Chains A and B, each alone.
Chain A
Amino acid sequence: MKPRAPSREAYFRALLEAAPDAVVIADGDGRIVLVNAQTERLFGYPRDRLVGQAVEILVPEDQQGHHAGHRRAYFGAPRVRAMGEGMELSGRRADGSAFPVAISLSPVETEEGTLVIAAIRDVTHARQAEKALRDRETRFRALLEAAPDAIVIADRSGRIELVNAQAERIFGYPRDRLIGQPIEVLVPERLQGRHAGHREGYFRQPRVRAMGEGLELHGRRADGSEFPVAISLSPVETAEGALTIAAIRDVTERRRVDREVKALNERLTRDNAELAAVNRELEAFSYSVSHDLRAPLRAIDGFSQALLEDSGDSLDATGRDYLNRVRRAAQRMGVLIDDLIKLSRVTRADTYMQDVDLSALAEGVAQDLQAAAPGRLADFAIEPGMIAHGDARLLQIALENLLGNAWKFTAGRTPARIEFGRGAQGGAEAFFIRDNGAGFDMAHADQLFRAFQRLHDAAEFPGTGIGLATVQRVIHKHGGRIWATGEVDRGATFFFTLQPRTANV
């Protein structure tokens, strides 16, 4: 027995319920006649709450008035309207929420008059995807326009497809005068032919080419002037064919800076050479001083002595005194020359920085001083374990001078007391050498470290006035500072640091 064929009504029903879109059938008054299961799901109503209602129940409230007008106009001239035509449409769920929809409309003539079949599709996902695409496009545009480099996109035939604001700016064209033009408008005329050839070659073997690779490149402005550029190239495959993205940078400023740096370097090299020459001269000069100036002094002293010995008897006391003065003057000049040489040696010395035990150096100096004058009663108090970072040879010279000074100026004291220690001074750690000797008047403190400046009578405290100048050079070579406090007949204290003072901001 053949199964009974389903009724047309049943076919229609099955078809309707299986449709992927919500289907709503309405009559000429806008009343809902029939909905399918997809409509119930999409809008959240059971169908008995929809049938008989005005279709505006499915429209967001703020659009219901418009919709009624549109509906009446449609029934005036009904036609098939495909999905996606016209405006953005919204549906309204039972809970009042709105969602984007696409709607197709088909009029159907029936015995009851004209009906409209509306197929409604939720396009939330499609809208989101479109929006995301638009957002990406917007971001890309913003990025393109904000890029610090000029960006020009050209197609395979070398026509400009797109430029950004920076490209307009550096080439001096509004973009509508560039789009569609051959890229060679941006190339100096003398290089245009060659450029076209390069472009062909590039499209045959496209690759990413970074900025700065290869030769010096030039761009051409709208006014015909040229300027140096750096260019990077990147090929892109698109549905419309191969494109090339060129990022172009105006390197006028960089070239200028490069030239300036080069010029500065050359000058520095020249200055260095001059400085080296001056140093060599200084070297030769001090060598000559130490060697040649001493020989005549030796003769003056030596022959004065010979004269005193051999012919002293034929001179009176005044004559012998004069000869002794000649000798003393010559000897003093010898000492002066020696001290000057030492000073210049300190200035020229290369420093070899390491940890230096200042306490041990000072102990050694103190022993030497004491050994040279065993009769003197002196009390050295040297703080043990004072380690400093510096040049051992130069620091030895500094300590010899400072302790030697303390020793010299305490000559009349019994006992002499000489202290070497360290402590906080004005926020920084400083070493100090303190004595109970002759001291000095603070009014002249600024002269202490000048070469040949002496604050004491040479007869009482002999010296050349170079020792403290030498010490100061040693300290400055270490980036440190030296200063002193004192009072006449109450001793002096010399402070020094061996580190650059930390900057106070």
Chain B
Amino acid sequence: MSDRPILLVEDNPDDEALTLRAFKKNNISNPVVVARDGAAALDYLFGRGAHQGRDLGDHPQVILLDLKLPKVDGLEVLRQIRADERTRLLPVVILTSSREEQDIVEGYSLGANSYVRKPVNFDEFLEAARQLGLYWLLLNEVPSRQRA
């Protein structure tokens, strides 16, 4: 299993705690970087603000992106990720409460790799986390080192 970090973009501290617990329960040991709004996520990805000087070659294995976010919303974050040469190949999984058709369609048309709805039932949530980890951390191959 890759030990590259997972970028979790999530503004709800409860969902953050549950997601981290689900990873732990599924023995997913990758470091998790949490961004609590869209702007913070972009700062991390592009080495700005609090993340000034970060080695951009050390890109996350997968980005778990909520849609409803303060400051910059999830779809805008996705748009900027796909627009930038340095990040456009990163796997992005939309992980959100919404199952509105228009969010799903827009998410995919902006280049999301996957769209997962957060279930209410924690057992189902655990299962979703397990499958996400299995697929994106274990099975999925990404280019070994993207251009910084």
Q: Which residues of A contact B (CB under 8 A)?
A: 287, 290-292, 294-299, 301-306, 327, 330-331, 333-334, 341
Given contacts A291-B68, A291-B96, are A330 and B14 in contact (CB under 8 A)? no
Does B3 reach chain A (CB closer than 8 Å)?
no
Given contacts A287-B98, A287-B100, are A295 and B14 in contact (CB under 8 A)? yes
> Is A291 within 8 A of B98, CB to CB?
yes
Residues of B within 8 A of A330 (CB): 120
Closest to B123 in A: A305
Contact of B122 among A287, A290, A292, A302 (CB under 8 A): A302
Does B80 reach chain A (CB closer than 8 Å)?
no
Residues of B within 8 A of A301 (CB): 120-122
Residues of B within 8 A of A291 (CB): 68, 96-98
Known: A298-B15, A304-B122, A334-B120. 5 other contacts (CB 8 A): A291-B68, A292-B97, A295-B118, A302-B122, A306-B18
B15 to chain A, nearest CB (A): 6
Q: Which residues of B contact A (CB under 8 A)?
A: 12, 14-15, 17-18, 21, 68, 96-100, 118-123, 125
Closest 9 CB pairs of A and B: A334-B120, A299-B14, A302-B122, A302-B18, A305-B122, A291-B97, A297-B120, A291-B98, A294-B97
20 contacts between A and B (CB under 8 A): A290-B97, A292-B97, A295-B14, A296-B14, A298-B14, A298-B15, A298-B18, A298-B120, A299-B12, A301-B120, A301-B122, A302-B18, A302-B21, A303-B18, A304-B122, A306-B122, A331-B121, A334-B119, A334-B120, A334-B121
Closest to B98 in A: A291
- Among A290, A330, A341, chain B packs the most CB atoms within 10 A around the CB of A290
Residues of B within 8 A of A294 (CB): 97, 118, 120
User: Complex Cα distance A304/B100, Å?
Assistant: 28
- Among B12, B118, B122, chain A packs the most CB atoms within 10 A around the CB of B122
Residues of B within 8 A of A298 (CB): 14-15, 18, 97, 118-120, 122, 125
> Is B21 within 8 A of A295, CB to CB?
no
User: Complex Cα distance A296/B118, Å?
Assistant: 12
User: Complex Cα distance A302/B25, Å?
Assistant: 13
Closest to B14 in A: A299
Residues of A within 8 A of B119 (CB): 298, 334
A335 to chain B, nearest CB (A): 8
Residues of B within 8 A of A302 (CB): 14, 18, 21, 122, 125
> Is A290 within 8 A of B120, CB to CB?
no
Contact of B18 among A292, A299, A327 (CB under 8 A): A299
User: Complex Cα distance A304/B121, Å?
Assistant: 11
Residues of B within 8 A of A299 (CB): 12, 14-15, 18
> Is B100 within 8 A of A295, CB to CB?
no
User: Complex Cα distance A223/B136, Å?
Assistant: 92
Closest to A308 in B: B122
User: Complex Cα distance A299/B50, Å?
Assistant: 29
User: Complex Cα distance A330/B119, Å?
Assistant: 11
Given contacts A290-B97, A302-B21, are A295 and B12 in contact (CB under 8 A)? yes
Closest to B96 in A: A291
> Is A295 within 8 A of B15, CB to CB?
yes
Residues of A within 8 A of B99 (CB): 290, 341
Closest to B12 in A: A295
User: Complex Cα distance A333/B118, Å?
Assistant: 15
B131 to chain A, nearest CB (A): 17
User: Complex Cα distance A287/B12, Å?
Assistant: 17
User: Complex Cα distance A287/B106, Å?
Assistant: 15
Closest to B21 in A: A306
A84 to chain B, nearest CB (A): 96
User: Complex Cα distance A10/B124, Å?
Assistant: 140
User: Complex Cα distance A297/B17, Å?
Assistant: 14
B139 to chain A, nearest CB (A): 25
Closest to A304 in B: B122
B13 to chain A, nearest CB (A): 9
User: Complex Cα distance A306/B24, Å?
Assistant: 12
User: Complex Cα distance A296/B120, Å?
Assistant: 9
- Among A291, A302, A327, chain B packs the most CB atoms within 10 A around the CB of A302
User: Complex Cα distance A196/B5, Å?
Assistant: 94
A412 to chain B, nearest CB (A): 26
B106 to chain A, nearest CB (A): 13
Residues of A within 8 A of B98 (CB): 287, 290-291
A119 to chain B, nearest CB (A): 105
Residues of A within 8 A of B97 (CB): 290-292, 294-295, 298
- Among A298, A305, A331, chain B packs the most CB atoms within 10 A around the CB of A298
> Is A303 within 8 A of B14, CB to CB?
yes
Residues of A within 8 A of B120 (CB): 294, 297-298, 301, 330-331, 333-334
User: Complex Cα distance A298/B15, Å?
Assistant: 8
> Is B125 within 8 A of A290, CB to CB?
no
User: Complex Cα distance A292/B100, Å?
Assistant: 13
User: Complex Cα distance A306/B118, Å?
Assistant: 17
B124 to chain A, nearest CB (A): 9
Closest to A333 in B: B120
B117 to chain A, nearest CB (A): 9
> Is A290 within 8 A of B100, CB to CB?
yes
User: Complex Cα distance A355/B125, Å?
Assistant: 39
B25 to chain A, nearest CB (A): 8
User: Complex Cα distance A330/B122, Å?
Assistant: 10
User: Complex Cα distance A302/B12, Å?
Assistant: 13
User: Complex Cα distance A299/B123, Å?
Assistant: 12
